[in-house]
């Protein structure tokens, strides 16, 4: 059978800051439109990070597998992909996501990409040119001792134009500078440039709400997770995983690890954690403008949430 235009793959994307109910909506939509979910979340990929990453609501029926969960009878790809302590990156996400989309599409189902990691979603949809340029651990180790200023000088010698093009934020950002140098030093730079991206019909739904609304919801969410054993989850992880790795994850894994180690009073840690979550919500919101043709809905307004389903109905039937 020949493929017609109708066979062009479709992808539904749901993006939004934490606590906007992305997963719950995705599950609802997956049931309604015969879909499967792909989690675009840099922390949910780890096994054992369940409560803190909010993989699912407590009321959901869950069946865990390596690399995916079945939640309320819906398959969610991208959970428990690797063990805690390991490194993950966008590049791996792109590969994983592509494979998942392909396999879901083959089943005749609708792939639904949902997550709060804007960088992953953007790269997946529009491509990541430098994807082929791998990380160079030895180089990174030696560069990690240098200051941002020193790194910048190094980059300027390698590629003055590139150095001059950096914005004020990146000039002071050691991590970004190291990566930029890494790309410059890559011997097969041109050959490795990759322009692969998702090809097909895309529908992007953004979920949001006013800051204060999300802050309140996030604080409540955290209190609930604490009652549900979040601290124990982290203590358990600390038995097998380096605490530096844990705290490099940020948010709950950082602050509760610190308090568990006695480096911070628990009350203080929770307070700071809430502040960090609020800041994270703000940062996530700035990603909305990175997506083309995104339709943004305010979840604090009931009318708008009803529009979402209708909107997607059109996309699916098209």
Partner RNA sequence: GCCGAGGUGGCAGAGGCGGUCAACGCACCCGUCUGAAAAACGGGCUAUGUCGGUUCGAUUCCGACCCUCGGCA
- Note the residue count of the chain: 318
Which is nearer to RNA, 33 or 291 (by Cβ)? Answer: 291
Regarding 208 and contact with RNA (CB under 7 A), the answer is no
Regarding 88 and contact with RNA (CB under 7 A), the answer is yes
**Cβ neighbours, 10 Å, residue 177:** 25
Regarding 183 and contact with RNA (CB under 7 A), the answer is yes
**From the list 87, 161, 187, 188, which residue makes contact with RNA (rule: CB under 7 A)?**
87
Shortest CB 91 distance to RNA, Å = 4
Closest listed residue to residue 280, CA positions, set 48, 114, 113, 118: 118
Closest listed residue to residue 226, CA positions, set 274, 290, 181, 166: 274
Closest listed residue to residue 73, CA positions, set 22, 32, 43: 32
**From the list 69, 79, 96, 120, which residue makes contact with RNA (rule: CB under 7 A)?**
120
Contacts of 229 (CB under 8 A, 6+ apart): 51
Site mask for RNA (CB under 7 A), range 1-40, x = bound? ----------------------------------------
Stretch binding RNA (CB under 7 A), from 44-52, 73-81, 198-206, 300-308 = 44-52
Regarding 116 and contact with RNA (CB under 7 A), the answer is yes
**From the list 167, 187, 188, 314, which residue makes contact with RNA (rule: CB under 7 A)?**
167
127: left (phi over 0), alpha (psi -120 to 50) or beta: left
Regarding 212 and contact with RNA (CB under 7 A), the answer is yes
Regarding 135 and contact with RNA (CB under 7 A), the answer is yes
Shortest CB 273 distance to RNA, Å = 8
Whether 77 contacts 114, CB under 8 Å: no
Site mask for RNA (CB under 7 A), range 259-298, x = bound? ------------xx--xx-xxx-xxxxxx-xx--------
Whether 106 contacts 25, CB under 8 Å: no
- Spatial separation of the C-alpha atoms in residues 152 and 197, rounded to whole Å: 31
Stretch binding RNA (CB under 7 A), from 3-11, 28-36, 103-111, 175-183 = 175-183
CB burial of residue 24 (10 Å; 0-12, 13-18, 19+): middle
Closest listed residue to residue 299, CA positions, set 37, 24, 35: 24
Shortest CB 148 distance to RNA, Å = 7
- Spatial separation of the C-alpha atoms in residues 89 and 9, rounded to whole Å: 25
- Spatial separation of the C-alpha atoms in residues 167 and 171, rounded to whole Å: 6
Stretch binding RNA (CB under 7 A), from 72-80, 174-182, 234-242, 293-301 = 174-182
Residues that bind RNA (CB under 7 A): 41-44, 49, 52-54, 87-92, 116-120, 123, 127-135, 140, 144, 167-170, 172-176, 178-179, 183, 211-212, 215, 248-254, 271-272, 275-276, 278-280, 282-287, 289-290
């Amino acid at each position: 059978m020949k493929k017609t235009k109708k066979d062009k793959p479709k992808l539904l994307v749901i993006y939004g800051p934490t606590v906007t109910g992305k997963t719950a909506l995705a599950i609802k939509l997956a049931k309604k439109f015969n879909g499967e979910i792909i989690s675009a979340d840099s922390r949910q990929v780890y096994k054992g990070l369940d409560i803190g990453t909010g993989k699912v609501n407590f009321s959901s029926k869950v069946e865990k597998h390596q690399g995916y969960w079945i939640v309320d009878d819906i398959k969610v790809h991208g959970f428990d992909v690797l063990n805690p302590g390991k490194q993950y990156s966008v590049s791996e996400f792109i590969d994983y996501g592509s494979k998942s989309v392909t396999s879901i599409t083959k089943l005749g189902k609708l792939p639904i990409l949902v997550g709060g990691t804007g960088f992953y979603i953007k790269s997946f949809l529009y491509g990541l040119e430098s994807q082929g340029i791998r990380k160079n651990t030895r180089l990174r180790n030696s560069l990690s001792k240098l200051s941002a200023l020193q790194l910048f000088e190094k980059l300027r010698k390698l590629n003055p134009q590139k150095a001059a093009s950096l914005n004020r934020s990146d000039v002071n950002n050691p991590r970004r500078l190291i990566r930029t140098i890494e790309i410059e030093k890559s011997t097969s730079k041109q050959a490795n440039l990759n322009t692969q991206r998702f090809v097909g019909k895309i529908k992007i739904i953004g979920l949001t709400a006013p800051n204060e609304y999300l802050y309140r919801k996030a604080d409540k969410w955290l209190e609930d997770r604490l009652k549900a054993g979040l601290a124990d989850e982290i203590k358990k992880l600390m038995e097998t995983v380096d605490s530096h790795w844990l705290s490099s994850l940020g948010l709950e894994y950082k602050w509760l690890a610190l308090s568990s180690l006695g480096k911070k009073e628990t009350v203080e840690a929770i307070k700071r954690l809430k502040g960090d979550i609020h800041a994270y919500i703000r940062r996530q919101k700035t990603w909305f403008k990175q997506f083309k043709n995104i339709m943004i809905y305010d979840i604090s307004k009931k009318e708008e949430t009803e529009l979402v389903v209708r909107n997607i109905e059109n996309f699916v039937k098209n």
